[in-house]
Structure 1
Amino acid sequence: MSSLSREFLTMIARGYGLSEEQEEVFVALYGSDGNKVKVAESLHISPKALQARMTGVYRKFSVSGKGSGKFRQLQVWLLEKQQATSGKATTASTNVDIETLVEGCRENVKTFIQQRCGTMRVLGMEQPIGIGDIYINVNILEKLTGRRRLDMADLLENFNPDDFDRFGLGQVVQKRVSGLEAVQRYNKLMVLGKPGAGKTTFLKYLAIQCIGGAFQQTCVPITITLKNFAENRGQPDLLTFILGMLTDVSHADLLTILQAGRALLLLDGLDEVREEDSSRVLLDIQTVAERYPDNQFVMTCRIAAQDYTFQQFTEVEIADFDEKQIAVFATKWFCPQHPIKAERFIAKINANKRIQELGTNPLLLTLLCLIFEEKGNFKDNRAELYEEGIELLLEKWDSSRDIERDSVYKKLSPKRKEDLLGQIAFTTFIKSEYFFKRKTLEKPISDYIQNLPDVQADPEALLVSSRKVLRSIEAQHGLLVARAQGIYSFSHLTFQEYFTARNVIFAASHNPQYLEQVLHELVVHITEKRWREVFLLAAEMLPSADYLLELMKIQVDTLLVEDEKLQKFLSWGKEKSISVDVPYRFSAVRAFCFDLSFALSLARSLDHALSLDRTLSLALDLDLSLARVLDPSLARALVRALSLDRALDQDLSLALSLDLSIDLSLSLALSLALSLALDHTRALSLALSLDFSLALSFDLALALDLNRALDRTVALTSDPELKQAVHNLKAQLSDPEDNVEVEVFKQWWQSNGKAWIKGLRTVMIKYRNIGHDWQFSDAQIEKLGQYYEANQLLLDCLNGDCYVTRKVREKIEDTLLLPISS
């Protein structure tokens, strides 16, 4: 330890008015190695007398604190004062000297930095992982999301809860900059972020990059965990704490580096400092930043965790991961040992937008990787997956790092916190509120916490407590986040849906008599797309989903009950399914007939019938579809055409999709009746498309498809009358492959196409009971669409990870898509 000159100490002692006894102890103690026992012996006084004199010294210098911290605090100040008085650094007086000093200090702290910052280990990792092996370049938002001056209308612009990109909920569209670029741009940076956003990892990465020479290579990196500093025994000031931490760097050398502005100070976790330590820590940071302004400071804190503003610091926010960052993270996590698993993980998470939404948070993405690494897939029960993620944010993440939080909120157990979040989610979701003002949140929070012990019932005090709870939820877990000034939302729509479902189920579980009412209130939303995930999660959460599924089935059946034509349509589907001789359950055949007839009716009602025709071609003839270039609307129509069959009977949908391709029909030997029905419907759809497309341009490919469909029907059917009827229809068409006849064919079709289609319909109805022109109105088509989606939702719940008795399952499956009279 460097000593101070006795002349300087004497000058300081007399300048601060120390008594002779105080000066004697002060000069002896700070002019030597600081050993109090030796100094007491040399002065022929007791250690107790020495301590009494030093108490007076500390009072004269206004030094506060406890124990050895006061001694070191004063010592640092004296070293600085001596250097300032001499007008030069103790160990360096030229630029050459400072470069040598920095290089030596970097070498001295290298091992310390590598050990402290070179690895990370979170959650259930069996062993630490290198920062360089997993770190993903973070993006920074230079304008804080929660401080944007936007109103509700701005946030809701272009927001459609029935059909929106889930990544878009609360997504900030402002330009992002890389984390390193932000640090280079601002020499004092406050990096804010949600829990698990990667703030600590970012600081570790900066330290490793600095000590490795890839970033700020002329600076000495110094990492400080603010929680450890705040709770350090003796409550030293920040410089004293740093000096005690870096034992391989002398006090004088460190002060020289700070005065030269050659330190990279990385201060982690301001939000983790306890409330009773907060004022002292904030003052220390402010003092050091003001005393050594030329150094680089980077400090991290959770969003909404501090009201204090550092005037010199620029505040930025860590952005959520985007799809590309998720893929890079997963590749680093699983590779090089498991590259195939990395590809499967990326494919799976891209296919499930709700799970992908969770992956925008690095901590939750780590959880997803751990689960996938162990199981090779995500959990079948999504409610359990979300619950594990929420438990991680609510409880495990802070407790794993021994962090205690303050405020009224900490008096709530994790379960009670979930109950409160359930109240907030349900009251906002049921009103279609995805963004809500602070006042909207304060009411359910007040209602919930007013019965807690030690919470004042006075309205004003209750309001203050409610606001503290809201800030705690935002800061401690990030489950609620500010989207603009005074406007909040759940950080992920998935969480709002989960807590809404949880609120429904747990409210009923606390009062079984309330279950019937709650579930009846739920099923009225069965045609609303935004409630779809709530239904799926509720079915998974219930001990038995029988009653919910039965109520859903009743609600679905009543959707078309008042429309006579639609009931007639369902009766036709029932009759048709009974009439064909196939080894499949009737409900699957009804679904198949519904798909084709509904798609055909939809095609006739829309202007872009040509596109829908190509969708049918894709669904019904795979060999032709390979040559088609489709847009997303066509892909969605294909899923609509086949998904219900697949949900009911995988073998049926597989056989249909393959057998109706000529190359695979012999292999699967599908029923001749269904093959004929499929080809007839396809031929009709092609004909209709030709009819609609004449106004735009004649499509030769469609004419070729039409001829092939007719040829296939002739080839497959064993009914001579049907074979002859189709042959006669085909004979009316000229060969479209003959280029000379194209114009002739076009003219003929324009004159005779409608009559020809009518003839085709007559043949299809007479021989196969298909091809009916239902002439549904737009309102009826919309109603059929809702009915279809509701049946699909019912099946998805039935086939999800829920408990349902065999009796209820079979009853629902066997009675799907039947008219109400059945």
Structure 2
Amino acid sequence: MRRTLTASPQGIQLIKKTFRNKKWSRDLIAGKAGCSRQTIWSLLNGNPIDCDTFMNVCRELGCSWEEIAVLSGEADLEENIDLELFVQKLREIVKSDLETRCGTMRILDMTQPVGLSHIYTQVNILEKIIGRRRKDLDELFNNCNLEEFERFGLGKVTEAKIPAKEAVSKYRHLMILGKPGAGKTTFLKYLANQCNEGKFQGDLVPFFVTLKDFAEVENQPGLFTYLSHYILKQKQETLEQVFSQGKALILLDGLDEVLDRHSERVLKAIRDFSTKFPSNQYVMTCRIAAKEYVFEQFTEVEIADFDWQQITTFTNNWFRTKVIKPETFLERLEKDEPIQELASNPLLLTLLCLAFEESGDFPGNRAGLYKEGLDALLKKWDAKRGIRRDEVYQKLWVQRKEDLLSKIAWDTFAPGEYFFKQDKAERYISEYIRNLPGANTDEEALQLDSEVVLKSIEAQHGLLVARANQIYSFSHLTFQEYFTAREIIIVRQSAESALQELVNHIFEKRWREVFLLAVAMSSNADKLALLMKEKIDKLIANDEKLQQFLQWLNEKTKAVNISFKAEDAQKIQDIISFYNNINLSRSLYLSRSLYLSRSLDLSLSLSLSRSLSLDLSLSLDLSLDLSRSLDLSLDLSRSLDRSLNLAQKCDRELYQELQKLNDRLPDKENEKKFKRWWQANSNSWREDLRAIMIKYRNIGHDWQFSDEQKDLLKKYYRANQLLTQCLHQECYVSREVRQEIEETLLLPIAESDRRRSSTL
């Protein structure tokens, strides 16, 4: 292959005309092009000259070298150009366009575009499509501990992942499938940039094609013509060898965005082009379940959800130049599992970052935050990018889709069906659409419609997804919980029977998020809050010993004798929690009590914090028999010293009694002697300590609860915590109802009734 080009007769005339128009001499153009006057003479006489010099002369004249050179077909091209040099020239031509189209990203409500290189986070690929796995319901449920309610078991994927860039290198023809917002387009733009900058496949010409634009271009050209005329604006003869020799990186984005009326033509164009030029590198993206297609030469893979490491990388990139530190965002995210779940989707993670950026925290009304995420998937994500989808069922607009999803969520979440078979999902859909005005009630038609609707919800919105072959779930448990609450509050309009049905689940841990969302969604949550309180109180209303315990708890917290303002209700609950914890099960709750003690130290008066600290210290003294420390004497010595120090400041008589107990202990320096003494005398010593604690601090009672009573108390306490959390989020509950609940929380039934009657 010679590195020379020859001017055609028409090209020579064009050069001479340009000379006359510019009034340039041969010497002048020779100087500008860096060649001799003899070279210009050879060019104008139709002799071959050096390829670089030929192109330099044309550039200086403002002419396209393809218009000047002799290019009579593939044979002439092979004779006249250096392919590698031509590829580099084409790379220069596309560089600026790719930087404009692929160098930035702007998502949802971002006020300005951001450089892709500043925010990009490496994505991973699953080489096996999740929805095609041959698994049954039992296998999927085995990943979810329903008793402990492991949220992240639902989307757990055990298949191996590889970096997406590695997958592109591994497979020459690659189809990347993924849920909406999974990062498919961003990854394709990243590849285009990497190739453009010579960091990936730097010997190829990158072509980034938005398939929606290709589908809608006038005259309906084939893909080869589109790449030649609409992207490179080059003659087709000059490009055919580039494609034939596999010198192109063809990036085809958004097959799912092509409307049905263009679909057949676009699919044929891709097949024809990739069949004619198989040696090029191809990467195409499409939403899962969006199209029925067969590309025999393409390997299909799935883009994986973000893991915690990817979430961290994205967050660090996002907040790198912001006032808010990424650590603040990540710390809050890690503590809130339902919100953290959403962060596995890059689009929803972007939404969370935008929301957090506004106030330095997630919104107090989590229902509003989730609705914003759902709006992004149901409406905004396509609308912001000018994407129009084919309506698969004309009567199923957005609100009706939400109502349908609410019905499915309630009917599956209530019995604990986090996974359900495809035919069951289709039955839910069929039952819903048969009741719409003007619906076709023919069973066969309903079956076809329901299947199409299910696939469209999966493909267009990603809210229902295939977890295995013909087995579905909501894409995030958070969304299933949201739609479950929506069914009660929005669809059933908070009817008393619906609220009562919800309240029946108040003692089940897995319903916690549904209650928080239901209260937050309610325009007035008075009725729901009072039903929750009534249900909680009834749990232990008939157990006399548990009622006695609540009476003690009430007396103990009142004995703290501190005046609170109305806004201190949460601190009161913390004190109640503190005393409940250190008495209910000392071995289990001491760490929690210690945390509460330190928290209250910071927020309440010095006298109160000393009182709490003394009670905690004494409880630790009493619990040392449960200790597995290698140095029991040292632990006891430290704990008693703290109790003595606090008692000396709070209660002189208590201090004297504790000092007597301390004096009975043998020499703590002799560990063997101390252990022998402890083995012989610890029971009586502890009982004496217990008697002192009961007399002076009213703590340390041995309630001797049965296992059933302990279980009831834990359920009762957790449900009260949930009720408190519901009231302290951003929601509407009237002042009167809020005050009534807060003042009677954890009170025995008799005391609650007395307070209510006194207010009537």
Classify the TM-score, shorter chain: 0.7 to 0.9
Matched with 1:785 is 714
State the distance in 1 between where 2:513 and 2:183 align.
Answer: 29
Name the aligned partner's letter for residue 715 of structure 1: Q
2:61 alignment counterpart: none
Distance 1:534 1:434 in 2: 14
Q: In the alignment, which residue of structure 2 is the partner of 1:91?
A: 77
1:364-513 alignment, distance < 5 Å: 364-452=348-436, 455-509=439-493
In structure 2, the CA distance between the partners of 1:458 and 1:809, relative to structure 1 (3 Å rule), is: same
Which residue pairs with 1:221 in the alignment?
A: 206
1:753 aligns with 2:694: no
1:345 aligns with 2:329: yes
SS of the aligned residue for 2:176 comes to: strand
Whether the 8 Å CA contact 1:407–1:469 is kept in 2: the answer is no
2:645 maps to which residue? 712
For each residue in 1:437-482, what CA deviation from the matched residue of structure 2 results, as whole angstroms up to 9, or x when unmatched? 1122112111111134564211121111101000000000101111
The percent identity for this pair of structures is 48
Equivalents in 1 of 2:572, 2:215: separation in Å? 70
Structure 1 position 677, deviation (Å): 6.2
Matches within 5 A, 1:477-626: 477-509=461-493, 515-584=495-564, 592=575, 595-603=578-586, 609=587, 615=591, 619-620=593-594
Q: Helix, strand or coil: the match of 1:91?
A: helix
Shift in Å, 1:680: 4.4
Which ranges in structure 2 are unaligned for 5 or more consecutive residues?
1-71, 752-760
Select between 463-472 and 590-599 the one with higher mean Cα deviation.
590-599
Q: Name the SS of the counterpart of 2:623 in structure 1.
A: helix
Question: Secondary structure in 2 aligned to 1:267?
Answer: strand
Shift of 1:179: 1.1
| Offset at residue 794 of structure 1 (A) | 0.6
Say which SS state the counterpart of residue 122 (structure 1) adopts: coil
**Partners in 2 of 1:131 and 1:676 — Cα distance?**
57
Distance apart, 1:294 and its partner CA: 0.7
Aligned to 1:270: 255
1:699 aligned residue: 632
| C-alpha displacement of 1:517 | 1.0
Give 1:631-650 correspondences, 5 Å limit. 638=595
Change in 2 beyond 3 A, CA 1:99/1:577: closer
Separation in 1, partners of 2:606, 2:589: 28
> Helix, strand or coil for the counterpart of 1:233?
coil
CA apart distance, 1:598: 4.0
Residue of structure 2 in register with 1:178 after alignment = 163
- Paired residue secondary structure (2:301): strand
Which structure 1 segments of 5+ residues have no match? 1-81, 604-608, 621-637, 643-652, 660-667
Out of 659, 662, 669, the residue aligned to residue 606 of structure 2 is 669
Question: What are the equivalent positions in structure 2 for 1:241-280 lying under 5 Å apart?
Answer: 241-280=226-265
Identify which of 316, 320, 328 aligns with 1:331: 316
Aligned letter for 1:732? R
* Counterparts of 2:132 and 2:691, CA distance in 1: 67
- Does the 8 Å CA contact 1:114/1:208 hold for their aligned counterparts? yes
The residue type equivalent to 2:350 in the other structure is: T
Q: Give the AA of the match of 2:692.
A: V
Q: State whether residues 519 and 528 of structure 2, in contact with CA within 8 Å, keep that contact through their aligned partners in structure 1.
A: yes
Q: CA deviation at 1:173?
A: 2.0
Counterpart of 1:105? 90
Whole-angstrom distance in 1 between the partners of 2:394 and 2:315: 34
Match of 1:207 in 2: 192
CA distance in 2: counterparts of 1:394 and 1:709, whole angstroms:
59
* Partner secondary structure for residue 770 of structure 1: coil
- Per-residue CA deviation, residues 131-169 of structure 1 (Å, 9 max, x unaligned), is 212111111111111111111111111412453553442
Q: Which moved more, 1:586-595 or 1:122-131?
A: 586-595
TM superposition shift of 1:583 = 2.7
Rounded to whole Å, the distance in 1 between the matches of 2:580 and 2:346 is 47
Aligned residues: CA RMSD: 2.4
Distance 1:471 1:394 in 2: 14
**Deviation of the 1:278 alpha carbon:** 1.2
Does the 8 A contact of 2:621 with 2:640 survive in 1?
A: no
Cα–Cα, structure 1 residues 597 and 423, in superposed 2: closer, same or farther, change >3 Å?
Answer: closer
Aligned partner letter, 2:414: I
C-alpha distance in 2 between matches for 1:327 and 1:271: 30
* Aligned with residue 685 of structure 1, among 620, 634, 643: 620
CA contact (8 A) 2:144 2:150 kept: no
Q: 2:461 & 2:142 partners in 1: Cα distance?
A: 27
Query: Could you say what secondary structure the match of 2:485 adopts?
Result: helix
Contact 2:125/2:303 (CA < 8 Å) preserved in 1?
A: yes
What is the aligned partner in structure 1 of residue 725 from structure 2? Answer: 796
Query: Equivalents in 1 of 2:291, 2:314: separation in Å?
Result: 30
Q: What's the CA shift string for 1:381-429, capped at 9, x where partnerless?
A: 1111111110111011112223222243454221111111111111100
Aligned mate of 2:293, from 304, 308, 323: 308
What is the CA-CA distance between 1:714 and the residue it aligns to?
Answer: 3.9
**Is the 2:171–2:299 Cα contact (8 Å) retained in structure 1?**
yes
Instruction: Give 1:812's aligned residue.
Output: 741
TM-aligned CA deviation for residue 491 of structure 1: 0.8
Whole-Å Cα distance in 2 between the matches of residues 344 and 803 of structure 1? 28
Aligned length: 677
Instruction: Give the aligned residue type for 1:92.
Output: E
Distance 1:225 1:351, change over 3 A: same
Give the Cα separation in 2 of the matches to 1:332 and 1:326.
10
Equivalent-residue separation in structure 1 for 2:84 and 2:573 (angstroms): 82
Which residue does 2:754 correspond to in 1? none
Corresponding residue SS for 2:585: helix
**1:762 counterpart = 2:691:** yes
CA contact (8 A) 2:393 2:453 kept: yes
In structure 2, C-alpha distance between the alignment counterparts of 1:795 and 1:290, rounded to whole Å: 64
Alignment correspondent of 1:157: 142
Deviation at 1:718, TM superposition (A): 3.5
Query: Which secondary structure state, in structure 2, belongs to the residue aligned with residue 143 of structure 1?
Result: coil
**2:311–2:343 CA contact under 8 A, matched in 1:** yes
| Counterparts of 1:814 and 1:411, CA distance in 2 | 50
Structure 2 residue aligned with 1:295, among 276, 280, 284?
A: 280
Structure 1 residues 276 and 714: alpha-carbon distance in aligned structure 2, compared to 1, 3 A threshold: closer
Residues of 2 paired with 1:110 and 1:593: CA distance? 67
Letter of the 1:211 partner, please give it: N
- Distance of 1:394 and 1:340 partners within structure 2: 29
Distance 1:598-1:258 versus aligned 2 partners, 3 A rule: same
What TM-score, normalized by structure 1, do the two folds share? 0.79
Q: What secondary structure is seen at the aligned counterpart in 1 of 2:473?
A: strand
**CA deviations over 1:685-722 (Å, ceiling 9, x no partner):** 33332x2347x8553442223321342244124343x3
SS at match of 1:780: helix
Post-superposition offset of 1:818: 0.9
Q: Distance in 1 between matches of 2:349 and 2:485?
A: 23
1:553–1:812: 8 Å Cα contact kept in structure 2?
Answer: yes
Do 1:381 and 1:801's aligned partners in 2 also have CA atoms closer than 8 Å?
A: yes
CA distance in 1: counterparts of 2:637 and 2:128, whole angstroms: 58
Contact 2:617 2:643 in 1 (8 A): no
